[in-house]
Amino acid sequence: MDCIMEFQLILSRASLLTGRLPVRNGFYTTNAHARNAYTPQEIVGGISKDEILLPQVLKKKGYVNKIIGKWHLGHRTHHLPLEHGFDEWLGAPNCHFGPYNNSDRPNIPVYNNSQMVGRYYEEFEIDKKTGESNLTQIYLKEGLDFIFHQAKARRPFFLYWAADATHAPVYASKRFLGKSQRGRYGDAVMELDDSVGQILNSLRDLGIDKDTFVFFTSDNGAALMSGPKQSGSNGPFLCGKETTFEGGMREPAIAWWPGHIPAGTVSQQLGSVMDLFSTSLSLAGLNVPEDRAIDGLDLSPVLLNNTHVNRPIFYYRGNEMMAVRLGPYKAHYWTWSNSWEEFNQGIDFCPGQEVAGVTTHTQQEHTMQPIIFHLGRDPGEKYPISVLTKEYQDALSRITPVVVKHKNGLVPGLPQLNMCDLAVMNWAPPGCEKLGKCLKAPKSQPWKCDWPH
């Protein structure tokens, strides 16, 4: 019933919904070289109206589309989910950071569709001290209700269940707090696991399990700089979130579709979160947009018949292709974990790990002679293959034309994450007036966003 794959992720939820690399869909910055950008409250940009999102295409076949949880594709009104193909939303444009002082920085609003219904740490409580919050339960109930109503109405649906857990600050509801053997982080994982189980059970109970394709994965590797109390582990992999090493990009991925995906299968297929765009459309009998480059592949043959496609994966930080994977080989053209300055402040993306010339704190270029690892025998990227070996030369001679082709065909999108402005923050989201929770925005003073890594 499930198929476990090795999954490579791009630093963006935008890629999942557009099937395109961040450098194409605009979710990157050109303010500095190779910077990881994202969408804090002060970001001006967001998902462009020119991008075509998965729910927009699914609508053609009558799908009802809902997102529950974190959006992160821009927080200004025109960037929100209902403007980009979703019919329903319960959740927030950003993560549950906070609590913030409302005069300098407002708490993140939670939306029900296009109206805010409160804010994190105000109407949606998260006790940072005890770690108690019902947030996952709220999102779970919303998901189960949605599934129930669509099943009863016999409507095809797409549910993007994007729980905030297990992002730091880590929380769990009372029933799970203290229950795991891995502290509060483990409690949060346990609650997430229980929630997924309840969702699968509801599909079975409603008799639609054989008609529902379910995919579970994560948006990045464990955030080791928050570890170990506020983060998971990346097992044998090098470094964590924010890096293009395996600990930053390789994820568990489980596909579930009783009667269609053979139970207990393990696939060696190299996949990407962008493939979910193409694969979902294929399963729904729809074509991907033909007027633009789509990076995702239709993996339905892999899932349904355990076939295999040899395909490259490109690892970006901002505007730079840092690395590429082809077959078992991964070639690093640029290495960087974070700056010495940040590292010396105690921010460590690779705690306890250090591979000479690889986990560098200066941006190092290796484009003339990339650092190559064999991820089969060295999944931890600890033993660079000697450039003097035939193996290195053979691998590079296969990788080089793939990289050349990719770079020659690349038309970067307009970078959306270059400009910041306190005035665009969530001061007065739609619906605030009904709640008496509108705040006064400061004067607009846009500046170039500063991305430290």
Segment near its own copies (CB under 8 A); pick from 136-144, 151-159, 351-359, 427-435: 351-359
Neighbouring residues of 429: CB distance < 8 A, sequence distance ≥ 6 = 77, 109, 111, 116
Smallest separation, CB 434 to its own copies (Å): 43
Report d(CA 444, CA 70) in Å as an integer. Answer: 26
Specify the stretch interacting with its own copies by CB under 8 A; choose among 113-121, 229-237, 278-286, 361-369: 229-237
Show the site string, 155-194: x = touches its own copies by CB under 8 A, - = not. Answer: --------------------------xxx-xx--------
Query: Terminus-to-terminus CA distance in the chain, angstroms?
Result: 40
Strand 115-119 relative to strand 64-70, pairing = unpaired
With binding defined as CB under 8 A, does residue 143 bind its own copies?
no
Site string for its own copies, 283-322 (x = CB under 8 A): ----------------------------------------
Measured from the CB of residue 228, what is the shortest distance to its own copies in angstroms? Answer: 4
Whole-number Å distance between alpha carbons of 72 and 41: 10
Residue 148 or residue 340: which is nearer to its own copies going by CB?
340
CA angle 139, 141, 142 (to 5 degrees): 65
Q: How many residues bind its own copies (CB under 8 A)?
A: 29
Give residues with Cβ within 8 angstroms of 319, minimum separation 6: 23, 28, 29, 30, 33, 34, 412, 415
* 235, 357, 442, 452: which one binds its own copies (CB under 8 A): 235
Stretch that binds its own copies, among 34-42, 233-241, 275-283, 336-344 (CB under 8 A): 233-241
Asked whether the bond before 99 is cis by omega within 30 degrees of 0, the reply is: yes
Mask of contacts with its own copies, 368-387, x by CB under 8 A? ------x-xxxxxxxx----
Q: Which CB, 156 or 183, lies closer to its own copies?
A: 183
Phi, psi for residue 205 in degrees, rounded to 5: -60, -35
DSSP per residue, 53-118: -HHHHHGGGT-EEEEEEE--S--SGGGSGGGTT-SEEEEESS----PPPTTTSPPPEEEETTEEEE
**Torsion angle of the four alpha carbons 276, 143, 123, 91, in this order, in degrees rounded to the nearest 10:** 20
Does 229 bind its own copies (CB under 8 A)? Our answer is: yes
Using the minimum distance from each CB to its own copies, give the nearer residue, 40 or 327: 327
Kindly give, in sequence order, each residue whose CB lies less than 8 Å from that of residue 262, ignoring residues fewer than 6 positions away. 3, 306
Residue closer to its own copies by CB (options 119, 374) is 374
* Strand, helix or coil for residue 316: strand
90 or 224, CB closer to its own copies?
A: 224
State the nearest-atom distance from the C-beta of 327 to its own copies, in Å: 11
The verdict on 340 binding its own copies (CB under 8 A) reads: no
- Say whether residue 259 binds its own copies (CB under 8 A): no
User: Is residue 228 a contact residue for its own copies (CB under 8 A)?
Assistant: yes
Is it true that the peptide bond before 130 is cis, omega within 30 degrees of 0?
no
In the chain, the amino acid numbered 320 is E
**Residue 227 found at the interface with its own copies (CB under 8 A):** yes
Binding site for its own copies (CB under 8 A): 181-183, 185-186, 227-229, 233-236, 238, 268, 328, 351-355, 374, 376-383
